[in-house]
Every structure is written in structure tokens, then in C-alpha cells.
Amino acid sequence: MVVGKDEIMKPRTDTREYKRIVLPNSLQVLLISDPDTDKCAASMCVGVGSFSDPNGLEGLAHFLEHMLFYASEKYPLEDSYSTYISEHGGRTNAYTSSEHTNYYFDVNADCFEEALDRFAQFFIKPLMSSDATTREIKAVDSENQKNLLSDAWRVNQLQKHLSAEDHPYHKFSTGNWDTLEVKPKARGIDTRDELLKFYKENYSANLMNLVVYSKESLDKIESSVLSKFQEIKTIDRKPPSFPGQPCTSEHLQVVVKTVPIKRGNKLRITWPITPGIHHYMEGPSRYLGHLIGHEGEGSLFYVLKNLGWATSLSAGESDWTVDFSFFKVVIDLSDAGHENVEHIIGLLFKYISLLQQSGVCKWIFDELAAICETSFHYQDKIPPMDYVVKISSNMQLYPAKDWLVGSSLPSNFSPEVLQSILNQLTPNNVRIFWESTNFEGQTDRKEPWYGTAYSVEKITSSIIQEWMKKAPEEHLHLPSPNVFIPTDLSIKNVKDKVNVPVMLRKSEYSRLYYKPDTTFSTPKAYVKLDFYCPFGGSSPEANVLTDISTRLLMDYLNEYAYDAQVAGLYYAISHTDHGFQVTLTGYSHKLKILLETVIEKIATFEVKPDRFYVIKELVIKEYENFKFQQPYQQAMYNCSLLLKDQNWHWNDELEVLTVLGPEDLSRLYPQILSRTFIECYAAGNIEPNEAESMIQHVENVLFKGAKPLSQKLFPAQHLSNRIVNLEKGVNYCYTKEGLNPSDENSALLHYIQVHQDDFKLNIKLQLVALIAKQPAFHQLRSVEQLGYITVLMQRNDSGIRGVQFIIQSTVKGPKHIESRVQAFLKTFESKLYEMPDDEFKSNVTALIEMKLEKHKNLREESGYYWREIQDGTLKFDRKEYEVEALKQLTKAELIQFYDEHIKAGAPQKKALSVQVYATAHSGEEKPDITDYNLVDIEDIFSFRRSRPLYGSFKGGIGHVKL
């Protein structure tokens, strides 16, 4: 066994230990020891992907990725790997990219050894039975079906389609029933034989990189990895390489007009460039992306925004391999921007020309390098599964010393390298993809895999020169130095170390919960202010205008606060059902300055009519595009509408939105703010007096000026978040036609409402969900092949708990799927009744370990505690109580709970079935099943009015001990 000598560069704050080894079969491994971790994880990155698909078998690499999950010679029981992971608190998944396939999982620490052994068998002796082969081709086809109406997938394939046919970039990578079943069969090819051959020829240990993340010492992990992975065969397969460029001259200097599914206008300007990976220490694409994608004063976006032509702009490298790469600028256009595309392209090239003439700026590179360095050394811990995936991918590309760093630390200033990439962004080298629903009927070609309508026009560099000349005279210039770069990264020492949030301050205007950082030792903070404004959600008009006001506030702040985001201090002003929220998270050093600016903008808000109309147009498109959401998302929306009191229908909001003008917002905004209460949470590297002074400042600005903008709430106005209480013993059913007639998917959301937050009931519900999750997936997706999207998950609406099945299908209608859910609940009954005691105890242990899992970073911890504040449950010590309840739970109690609340036909059960059907399934006959007390819901709002509501935790019941 070879041990790498390279010193692996790691963040200064990282206490984990790392070791690189190479097994005798040439498998390269990175071992990570983290004694503090609750979850262990592993990722195997195999250096072969869809570029290696044999001709005429598009999607074979992706199909193989699916097949390895089924069974192996050592563990022949189908789906036993995924079941083991799920029942021990873990998750597992995989993805196939052009040159890599990545498999990964995490699991509770005490089960890691066996999970790792099961995982290793993927790469040693998988079974890939012929029975599973046919079923999983259907799953691949279902996955492709859900992508067919996605604009992101469609334009991605179009970009590939318009490239050299002999380059693998041109291929269709996902696969479908046609490419994996119909066409091979017609040519006398057995897909399973090809699958086995592909595996044998490509899955060689020398092409694999493994990362293993464990609690154990490096020596222990090493011996475990050696025993489990040394049997992977190596055939010393040369890494597949794909030299040459995907775009020849015929694919450059083109404008491609294309018709998207969703309403909107988008411009994607792309150039083939030298892959940044060859110069990752110089970071040319990061440098250019920073400047071309900048949003501060003088930037391209600043100019386009002020002209009312663009609503967002991003720039950077994408779709890259070691051999080729693209630099992309993506601009979301307003309707006015769509009419001025030639000017926009002219301005973009003017800005590029400005960069070329200015030469490379050392101070900008140094500033960027400093931001990257701080970001690397003070990075948050992320879940081990995400971490191992990132590193195993890096191992395919970088020398060992940079496996953790990747391209994230540019440190070599090389004007020549930066200039050479900049010089590739020329009119001669450009591809312009222009998407708009306005092109409907004006195109003459169709992309074969997704059916995307498009047309191609050649342009010359002299045409672009013309556009540059005609573009409006705007003062484009380089950004100013960034004032938000933190210079004080010291950790504040708070005397009272509290493990859960405490209420630090309460007044008639606000309430402040506070928690110092006792875990992460990072110079970061998290501050959330929830403005509860009763007038903000009092009508569809008020709701829509409150939403527009938050977007306008973000819009006005953008050029000032963009630098803060670049420097690692993020902010958002977002619309809620009852007003709006302000969130700030990142380095604590300059957070207070940013918060004070945000509050000042809120207090001095004025409606700028030109910006109002741009934002209004954007919001109208979002509403109009609602119908293009996936059917399962429509089902989730309808379920929320049925359950949540005081919610407006999107159609009603769209109706009022079309007639609202800037004067309506000018009139309403003071009213929205006139009565408000602010719920606050401050956490991290902040001292208690700082947190209090921030909130005091907010109160002074809003409530205590000479002419206060806001007043305290009347007692009757205090927030309540109330949920419909379904009737026991009734199966409610709400059926709706899918909003997009072209979508062949139907969807079912089957919701079982159980109880209002209660420690003992919570853990029973969670345990049933944990035990049933994988069997439901296996039965309904893998065996019955109902659809790619098949999940069983818990649901929590403001403290009202339940479970829901969500299934989307092209093959069956929602009524049939509903009957299969009922059938599953019946068969699951016997699994529960016959469960051996040791298996019951093992599941309880798994759930306890999941509950005791520590938060990885401040943002995750804050999100957890904020949920308690938002719901009004305020059970900050919930985990301890629920773990205690779990330790005392018996199997008989769990079965009694299932029989009472979940079981098919249970007399106490409260169920709601939300069915969204595709046109093809509209004539579906009802399956021959007994409908237990079925009640059809004709109208959402009549139903809501007719049902009693659960009491609200906010401002009352929530303060009672559970």
C-alpha cells in the first residue's frame, strides 16, 4: 500500500485529520477522521460518465448508476443496501456527469462498517438481474419524462445538439425507454449484456477515487478500507479522454432563437475557452466572472438594470472538462430588454473591451484572492455526505495537496494568463442563445430529444461591432474597492454560555431571542427579523404589493450591498404570509452597518415607478409560469391551500396584480408598516448588548421618531398561524386537472394528519416514517414502477404533524396510485406487526442518533431554532424530551399508534388525497377498492370555512409545556 507524501492543504480552523493512501489495486483513497462527527459518509467517484456511452445506447452510463443500487452477490436481497442505510438514519444517492459517476451515502456512526461493506460490493460483484434491468429502464425513462418540460434541461441539450456530431458533448446523456430498450432490441442488441460489458470494461479500481469520513482513527479507517475495497478489480484501464473541441466554426458566430416552456426572456452568451482547470491557481474565470458578473455601480448589470432591460445577470465558467470549457454570461431580460437585445450584446462587448483596454488590475485580483482565502479558512462545516462528494470529484482533477481546495484559492497573479482568457471572449468566438416565448411560430427546427423549437442565424464580427457602436452611451467602469471585506475576525467571548436560545429582550414592539456561538468558534453571525404586519396579508392586493415592496427594497439596496455578498455577508428581504423578513448571515464584523442600511431603506422607502413596472412584470411572469410547475408541486400547493387558514389563491393574486400601479403601492406601503410587531433572533459571534442595541436601533427608527412610521399591534391583531383540523374517520379527496395540458405526468399527494405537536406522538410518527420510507420507495417506485418521484416524508404545518406520500407518474393516474398507497399501507401493517424486537430496537436507536446529531454550522443551527420561534412552539430543548420518550417507547405502543392513525381504514384516521391528473388519465376509472368514508372537496375555500381549526401556538397555546 502506497501512502501519499503530499501535505494536503486544509483550512486553519479544521481539526480533522486527513491521509491519502493507494491500495494494491491502484484505488486512490482519502481517509478523514473526525471524532466529533455523528454521521459517517463515503463517496466513490468513478472516472467514467456519459461521454463513454456506446453509440446507439445513449444513457447506458446513467442506467448502470441506477442498477448498482439493487443487489450484490454478497448481499443478494434486492434493495437491502438502501433499506439498511435508511433504517440507520442515512441517505444514499448517485449522479452521472459527462466524465464521472459519483456514488455516495451517509449513515449513523455505529452502523458505518456494515454500510461501507455493502457499498463496496457495488464495485466488486453487483448482480444486475435481468428482472431489475427492465424495471430500472422504466425508472430512467420516468426520470427523463420529468425533465422534458424543464427549460434548463431543454436549453442544455440544445447547446449540446448544436455542436460537432463526432464529439461526445453532442450526445443525449440521460437515456430513455427508446434508447435503452426499443432501439437496441430492434438491432438485436441485449441491453443487459451491454450493461455488464460496460461495467467490466470501465469500472476499474485505477479509475476510482474513494473518500471515507469516519469517527475512527486514521489507522482504523485504513484497515477497514483495505479489507473492504481491495477486491475491486483493476484492469489498468487508461482514463477515457476526449480531446478536441465540441464547437467547430459552424457552431460559432451564431444567434440561436429558441422557444422556452415558461414565459420569459433570457439571453445566454457563451464562448469556448481554455479550461480554467489548467490555470486554477491564477483563477482567470473567477476574475472575469467577478468583473463581468459584478452588480455594483458602473457594472454591466447596473447599467442594464437602470435602463430597465435586465432583472438578473451571472457570469462564469460552466460545462467544463479538462479538454474544453465555456464561459457563459446569462441575463434575464425584461420585455423591454427583449426589444433591445442588440444594444445589450453591444454593451456586453463594450464592457469586455473596457476590460481588455484597462489591462489586468492587480488590486482587483488581490482583493478577490483575499476574499477567497478568508472564505476557505473560515468555511462552515457541511454535512459529511456533501463534503465527501465534493472531495472525491476534486480527486479526479487536482493534485493531492489541493483536494480540499480545488479551484477556490487563486493566489498566482499572472496578467498573461488572465489576459489570454479575456482575449478569447471575442465576437468571432461567440454563441448567443436567445430564449423567448415571443419566438413561438418563428422557428424552423426542432431539437430531437426534447422537441425544443429553435432557429439559427449566422452573425459576423462586424455586425457585433455595429451593435457596440449603436449601444447607448453609458458610463461603464470597473468596481471600487470593497468596503465590506472583514478585517476583524476575532471571536467574541460571551460570559453566559447558553446551549439554547433565551429571550433577551421584550417590548410592546418586538421580542428578541438570542444564542451566542458555543460550538463553532467562527467569526460569523445570523440575524433574523420577522416583521409581522397584519395589513401585509389582509387581501390579495395587500399580499401582492407587500411582495413587490420587498423585491423593490432588494432592488434599491443591490448596488450598495452587492459588495457585502461578495465579501461573505449575505442579506435577504423576503415576503411572508404575514409581512416580510430580513435575514443577515455571514461575517459578524460589518453586519451591524449593513443591518442599519437595510432598516433605513425600509423606513425611507419610496416607489420608483420605472422599477415598479419592471418588478411587476417579473412577478406576473412568475404567476403565469405557475402552471408549468411539475404536477407534484401543484399537488403540494393545493394541499397547503386546503390546510392553511388565511391563504390567497395564486389566480386571485394574479388577477389583482394586472391592474395594480405604483400609486397603489405608494398608498398601501405606509399602511403595511403602520402596525407591526418584530420577532427577532440573533446568534453567533455577537455579544448580548450588541444584539440588544441592534433591535433598539430598529425600534428607534420605526416606532420612536418625531413622526413614527409604525405603532404597536392591537391585542386582536397578534399573529396566529392556524391549520385546518381534518375530521376523524374521513378520507377527503380533492381532484384537479394539471395546469399544463402538455404535461403527461399525473401526481398524488396522500396526506395523513395525526396530531398537534406532542413529544410522545411526534416520536411515534417519526419512527413509523423512518421504518416505512424505504419499503414505500422500493415497492411503489422500484417494483411497481409508478414513477421516478416517489417519496414518503413527514409533514409539519405550524406544529400540526402528519405524513405524506408524494408520487408523480406518466404511466398511471392518481386514483390508481391512491389505491397502491392504500395497498402498501396494508402490507406494511404486517411488516410492523411481525417486526423482531431487535429490529424495533435498532430503529429506535437509529432515530435517537439522528435526533442527537449535532448541527454542522451556525446557519443550520439557526434554521432549527428559528423554526421553533416561527411555529410558536418554542421547544428549544425538544430533542432531549423526544429522546427520553423514545427510550421508553414499546413496540406495542408503536403498533397501537399505527392502527389508530395511519393504517388503511383506521376509524380515527384523518386523510386528505390531493390528485392532479394529466389529460391522458382524465378518463381513469376508479379502482375496485372500498372507499372508507370518502368525501370529495368541490371548492377549497368552502371546505376551509366548513372545518374547525387547530389552536395557534403563536401568542397562546404554544407557551404551555407539552
Read off the pLDDT of each residue in 101-106 and give the average, rounded to a whole number.
98
Read off the pLDDT of each residue in 309-330 and give the average, rounded to a whole number.
97
pLDDT of residue 646: 84
Q: Is it the case that residue 98 has pLDDT exceeding 90? A: yes
CB 766 within 8 A of CB 937: no
Band of pLDDT at residue 933, cut at 50, 70 and 90: confident
| pLDDT tens, residue by residue, 850-866 | 999 999 999 999 999 99
d(Cα 558, Cα 615) in Å, to the nearest integer? 14
pLDDT of residue 719: 73
Q: Is it the case that residue 956 has pLDDT exceeding 60? A: no
Catalytic residue among 58, 87, 99, 136: 136
Q: Is it the case that residue 959 has pLDDT exceeding 50? A: no
**Could you tell me the three cell numbers for 565?**
455578498
Band of pLDDT at residue 310, cut at 50, 70 and 90: very high
* 931: nearest Cα among 908, 905, 898, 957: 905
Cα distances from 206 to residues 73, 124, 155, 471, 578, in angstroms, run 22, 13, 35, 54, 57
Strands 730-737 and 934-936: parallel
CB 410 within 8 A of CB 371: no
Read off the pLDDT of each residue in 808-821 and give the average, rounded to a whole number.
96
Q: Is it the case that residue 471 has pLDDT exceeding 70? A: yes
| pLDDT tens, residue by residue, 236-283 | 899 999 999 999 999 999 999 999 999 999 999 999 999 999 999 999
* 287: nearest Cα among 380, 420, 475, 399: 420
Read off the pLDDT of each residue in 538-542 and give the average, rounded to a whole number.
96
| pLDDT tens, residue by residue, 11-47 | 999 999 999 999 999 999 999 999 999 999 999 999 9
Read off the pLDDT of each residue in 599-628 and give the average, rounded to a whole number.
97
Domain spans of the chain?
17-230, 249-382+400-470, 502-712, 723-950
Q: Is 143 a catalytic residue?
A: no
CB 508 within 8 A of CB 712: yes
| pLDDT tens, residue by residue, 333-366 | 999 999 999 999 999 999 999 999 999 999 999 9
Band of pLDDT at residue 497, cut at 50, 70 and 90: confident
| pLDDT tens, residue by residue, 656-701 | 999 999 999 999 999 999 999 999 999 999 999 999 999 999 999 9
pLDDT of residue 2: 64
- Which superfamily is assigned to 17-230 in CATH? Metalloenzyme, LuxS/M16 peptidase-like (3.30.830.10)
| pLDDT tens, residue by residue, 904-923 | 999 899 999 999 999 999 88
pLDDT of residue 720: 80
Q: Decide whether 17-230 matches 502-712 in CATH topology.
A: yes
Q: Which listed CATH number (3.30.830.10, 3.30.70.20, 3.40.640.10, 3.40.50.300) goes with 723-950?
A: 3.30.830.10
Band of pLDDT at residue 4, cut at 50, 70 and 90: low
Catalytic residue among 65, 78, 87, 367: 65
Q: Is 136 a catalytic residue?
A: yes
| pLDDT tens, residue by residue, 409-445 | 999 999 999 999 999 999 999 999 999 999 999 999 9
Please check whether the domain covering 502-712 is classified as CATH 3.30.497.10: no
* 549: nearest Cα among 593, 604, 621, 591: 604
Task: State phi, psi for 214 to the nearest 5 degrees.
Answer: -140, 165
Band of pLDDT at residue 958, cut at 50, 70 and 90: very low
Instruction: Beginning with the edge strand found earlier in the chain, give each strand of the sheet holding 502-506 in spatial order.
Output: 502-506, 510-516, 677-684, 524-532, 579-587, 569-576
Q: Is it the case that residue 55 has pLDDT exceeding 90? A: yes
CB 68 within 8 A of CB 131: no
Note if the pTM is more than 0.75: yes
From first CA to last CA, the distance across the chain in angstroms is 57
Using the 8-state DSSP alphabet, how is residue 298 labeled? T
Q: What is the dotted CATH code of the domain comprising 249-382+400-470? A: 3.30.830.10
| pLDDT tens, residue by residue, 868-909 | 999 999 999 999 999 999 999 999 999 999 999 999 999 899
pLDDT of residue 957: 38
CA angle 778, 781, 785 (to 5 degrees): 130
